[in-house]
Amino acid sequence: WEPLCLAALNTPCANASAALYARVLRDSLAGAREDSDMLLPCTDLSALWPDAAARQVTMRYGNTVRQLHPSDDGIVVNQERFDAAVLAVPPTYAARLLDAPLREAGATGLLEALKAFDYLPIATLNVRLAEPWQLPEPMMMLREEAARGHVGQWVFDRAQLAGDTKAGELAIVASAATSIAERNRRQVIEALIDQVAEQAARHPARLPAMPEVTAAELLIEKRATFAAVPGLTRPLNTTPWRTLALAGDWTDTGYPGVLEGAVRSGLQAARVLNPRAD
């Protein structure tokens, strides 16, 4: 159960919320056949959705929100007034922006909930190979051997996903990657490459030897998701003001920190501000 728990909750089984894990399993494995379908994007996630969404609205890039002044008849953002707003930022930033307003509103419980989250990292090693090298499947599970630094859990054949037969590109992913964040980056890169090469050589598909690595980049998102532990009080989408809603996978969606939860939260935030949003 550990690989599924790490993939879905980014939290080791020993520490994870059984209720959240059970919800994920129930909605995927215990539902209709298509509920457990694995959807793998053929492009990067920014091009898949955010870039397209940004073309439908007015974006203000490089305009950091430093002040929020909500009230029941509107909200002032950086000295500019709006009818309403959705605050869709990590809870630490939400707590910073709303510290004074929440204290003034007597909503210290919400403020404490925003500050109560702990976070876990996800590491991704992107590897470019000297020549094409295709895995049997575009996504494959790896066996972990922590003592050897073989802590990758999944490998994605990025070239295969993109339909590029002339390239060799892999992405090796490790969830709950606290040990990686604390180690020498060069050693981590070498160990993960060795893990894939060694396990590919033993695969029943009799893969050719992994080609030479020409480039490797290790990305560690230190606060990738909140730690999905038992007893965590997650905020609702509502706030003390009818003109301000919260959104994010960290709100009380019933799911861990996943895209499905983020979508649910965004829809609910829209309903909070406009009950006729459906």
Domain that holds residue 258: 1-35+64-118+227-278
Q: Which residues 6+ apart lie within 8 Å of 169 measured at CB?
A: 126, 127, 128, 129, 157, 158, 159
Count of structural domains, the chain: 2
pLDDT by residue for the chain (278 residues), tens only, comes to 899 999 999 999 999 999 999 999 999 998 888 988 888 888 888 888 889 889 999 999 999 999 999 999 999 999 999 999 999 999 999 999 999 999 999 999 999 999 999 999 999 999 999 999 999 999 999 999 999 999 999 999 999 999 998 899 999 999 999 999 889 999 999 999 999 999 999 999 889 999 999 999 999 999 999 999 999 999 999 999 999 999 999 999 999 999 999 999 999 999 999 988 76
**Residue 6 shares a structural domain with residue 109:** yes
Last residue of some domain: 226, 247, 264? 226
Six-digit token string for 39: 């959807």
Supply the DSSP symbol for 155: E
The CA distance from 267 to 259, in Å, is: 12
- Asked whether residue 3 is domain-assigned, the answer is yes
- Examine residue 57 and state whether it is found in any structural domain, yes or no: no
Same domain, 89 and 164: no
Residues 219, 233 within the same domain: no
> What is residue 13's predicted lDDT score, i.e. its pLDDT?
96
For residue 127, being part of any structural domain is answered with yes
**54 within some domain:** no
pTM metric for this prediction: 0.91
Distance between CA 96 and CA 158 in Å, rounded? 38
